[in-house]
Structure 1
Amino acid sequence: MQPKLVAVLGAGAWGSTLANLASATGHNVRLWSRHLECSLAETVDGADIIVSAISMKGVRSVVEQIRSLSFAPETIFLTATKGLEPTTTLTPAQIWQAAFPDHPIVVLCGPNLSKEVQQGLPAATVVASTDITAAETVQMVFSSNRFRVYTNSDPIGVELGGTIKNVIAIAAGVCDGLHLGTNAKAALVTRGLTEIIRIGVAWGAKIETFYGLSGLGDLLATCNSPLSRNYQVGYQLAQGKNLAEILERLEGTAEGVNTTQVLIAKAHQQHISVPITTQVYRLLQAEITPRQALEELMLRDIKPEYNF
């Protein structure tokens, strides 16, 4: 492959990591953030791949800033943001696709804790698009002997898996913070996956996607590592700290906090059962304590295991 020009938008932990991955495989990389001197227009000018690694709250603003610019028809937009827009409940990829309907949009997601990837520890991820050629191009750009990239044709499933697992990760942090044990943690993560699948299928995703790297894989990583910001939110809530204090001291954004609120509104609108998300939401709103959330989950009406 001829070297590509990759413009990475967002110089946080994940954006910087993706920039380093592309650079290490021989591609030309430009990195942009609001704090750098290079303008957004200069950064994306002539880029073959534009990577969005900004927080959810900044996606709409950046899209609006560059949508009037001209890009070659083959320019690929790669989104690595996890979250849902509060006002529209759109995913990042849906926002990018609406602004650039004639360009391929690719989603990147997987069990990719940035600190481990930065250390050169082996990891795998998924790039998904309805344009398989675009997904394969991105696959080639980021693949290395330390970072294995798979392709997938279900972008909404890949994106939702990486987004909704942040809510379950908050619950997992609470579980560990309360020292509830391995049995409880295993049950929570398993039932969390069921909840993710229920939501995803209702939104048009494929069930099998959630058993892959962007679903089960990302869920396991985020629910079991102190490196996960969402896990840390739950763990510290269980230790008695208040949410505002936790978020103020957190390095980076815990997207699960915002996602929980958006997800609850969407689930109520579509009549989707989301018991774990509901308790996480009530906990974040300080309506209940972690112990009360546990009790309410354990005392729900008994039911069959599989009943999507």
Structure 2
Amino acid sequence: MSSINVAVLGGGSWGTTVAHLCAHKAPTTLWARSEETVADINGSHRNLRYLPDHDLHPSLRATTDLAEALGTADLVVMGIPSHAFRETLREAVPHIRPWVPLVSLTKGLELDTGLRMTEVVHEELPGHPVGVLTGPNLAKEIMDGAATASVLSMQDDSVAQALQELFGGEAFRVYTNDDLIGCELGGVFKNVVAIASGMADGMGTGDNTRAALITRGLAEITRIGVAYGGSPMTFAGLAGMGDLIATCISPQSRNRTVGQKLGEGMAIDAIITEMNQVAEGVKSCRAVQAMAREAGVESPITDQVVAVCHEGASAQEVYQRLLHRASRPELHGIADR
């Protein structure tokens, strides 16, 4: 692995964590726009903004220069939020050598087009192998050395197997899955359900409510994902159920935190203003709703998250709407696909 040079674009908590993991096995350079973040990583081996209590691998280097980060890269890892993904990729394209694989860490959709991030890569860098690294991956726990499982999905199985070894570590277990669509959509959809789960927590409902929301959220995720070509088994795995559970129950989850504050009565604009990081579900919920409607799939949880985040409804209002929905067979919309 030492012959592979890795470039990680994005200095947030997850991009920094993946760069730290890669640095254990390969020369790794992290690119960030923030000169302060770059100086912290190079000077103190810490990302003081996002991971202030965790030491980074001493060989990890950081730069604000895309050409420096990408010029010799044999692998490019994109840890860029969805709203800036295409713009950053376009800036990077002139510096990426032919056929270099790209792996996305981003769990969101492009708002204007509804495209997945791997589809954006295909448009901007046609011909390059592309994939996603996804799953129940809370950055701080990984940095603490807690046992974690993740999924690497790529269309090229030989590339996936090579990168599986690079990303994996003693406590970071990486599985492969050839269902790129399902793996990527699972990471997008779970953020929306996590907002709903957080709202229930913020209103003081109990574990029964949380369990019901997570389970019905998984059914909704599966319905939409299968309609777009994903495998139902993928949504029962780490990229679906695993990621959903972690995002819905963890205090570290940005999307759950947004939902909790909404449930407590805080306005969405005030929540976004005070947050240090991006909650992808707030931006992507409308795109997910549009996908469901395009496919003719029911998405009651997504609909109510959109209502709270973008249409002025309160958490209490949408909670009552969900409670008063007509009952259906549990596998409605799934078993018949």
The superposition leaves residues 128-160 of structure 1 with CA deviations (integer Å, 9 ceiling, x where unpaired) of 011011111211111111100000101111010
Alignment of 1:4-153 (within 5 A): 4-24=4-24, 26-36=25-35, 38-69=64-95, 71-73=97-99, 75-153=100-178
Tell me the TM-score normalised to structure 2 length: 0.88
Distance 2:64 2:318 in 1: 47
SS at 1:200 equivalent: helix
Q: Which runs of 5+ in 2 are unaligned?
A: 36-62
| 1:135 partner letter | A
Cα distance, 1:70–1:260 mapped onto 2, change above 3 Å = closer
Paired residue total: 306
| 2:114 partner letter | T
Q: Tell me which residue corresponds to 2:279.
A: 254
The offset of 1:95, in angstroms, is: 0.5
The offset of 1:268, in angstroms, is: 2.3
Is the 1:106–1:134 Cα contact (8 Å) retained in structure 2? no
Distance 1:179 1:66 in 2: 46
SS at 2:132 equivalent: strand
| 2:84 partner letter | G
Identity %: 40
Q: Tell me which residue corresponds to 2:194.
A: 169
SS at 1:273 equivalent: coil
The offset of 1:257, in angstroms, is: 0.3
Q: Which runs of 5+ in 1 are unaligned?
A: none
| 1:34 partner letter | R
Q: Tell me which residue corresponds to 2:41.
A: none
Alignment of 1:211 with 2:233, yes or no, is no
CA RMSD of aligned residues (A): 1.3
SS at 2:225 equivalent: helix
Distance 1:289 1:191 in 2: 21
The offset of 1:286, in angstroms, is: 4.7
The offset of 1:59, in angstroms, is: 0.6
Give the 4+ runs in structure 1 shifted more than 3 A.
none
Distance 1:249 1:3 in 2: 42
Tell me the TM-score normalised to structure 1 length: 0.96
